[in-house]
Amino acid sequence: MNTKTALAITVLAMSMVAGATGAQGTVDPQTTSGWFASRIVGAYQSQAMVRVCGSPGPDTPALNTIIFNEGGTVVATPRFPPQGADGYSRTNDLGTWSYNPRTNRYSVSLHFYGFVDGQFQGTTHVERDLRMSADGNSVSGPVHTTTYAPDGSVILEQCGTATSKRL
């Protein structure tokens, strides 16, 4: 290898490292490991108060039991009978969580499927942005849900707040 080739390879390598290093500051780091991130792991009873986004209300309560697992998965179970009002039933929520050490907040993304009289009615996506209490016994923050029809069109968007207390 001659000097020009070695110099070209060195400049290319340094520019790649500099580019990768410079790009790191533009994206918030998300993690599911480490002591701070793992503080959320456990079972919680949750209560949310939601309404159609942008409307004055009324608020509708949504209750569930939620389990944050080590490694970033989450499962939530609604706290109403499997067969709800008007023949409505739904699956458990399945999703993921991550922790942002820069903001000291958790992000949660869940989804579940809804049925009426056994017929598929659509999918609901739930997004939560959580801050943990100082004692580590609760998390709370805004919640946003979007319900999609089987064809992918939006049926309903709800906004509100939720608090989850450790069991």
Q: Which residue has the higher pLDDT, 39 or 12?
A: 39
Placement of tokens 């707040």 in the chain: 161
6 part of a folded domain: no
13 part of a folded domain: no
**Domain with 99 in it: what CATH number?**
2.40.128.120
63 part of a folded domain: yes
pLDDT given for residue 37 in this prediction: 85
95 part of a folded domain: yes
Report the alpha-carbon angle 25-68-87, nearest 5.
120
pLDDT given for residue 1 in this prediction: 54
106 part of a folded domain: yes
23 part of a folded domain: no
* 166 token code pair: 């450790």
Do 164 and 138 meet the contact criterion of CB atoms below 8 Å apart?
yes
For 65-131, give the secondary structure using H, E and C: EEEECCCCEEEEEECCCCCCHHHEEECCEEEEEEEECCCCEEEEEEEEEEEECCEEEEEEEEEEEEE
Distance, in Å, from the CA atom of 41 to the CA atom of 70, rounded to the nearest integer, reads 6
**pLDDT by residue (tens digit) across 133-164?**
999 999 999 999 999 999 999 999 999 999 99
**pLDDT by residue (tens digit) across 55-100?**
998 999 999 999 999 999 999 999 876 556 677 888 999 999 999 9
pTM score = 0.78
- Mean pLDDT on 22-47: 77
Count: domains in the chain: 1
Owning domain of residue 158: 29-166
**Has residue 114 got a pLDDT over 50?**
yes
19 part of a folded domain: no
111 part of a folded domain: yes
Query: What's the one-letter identity of residue 145?
Result: T
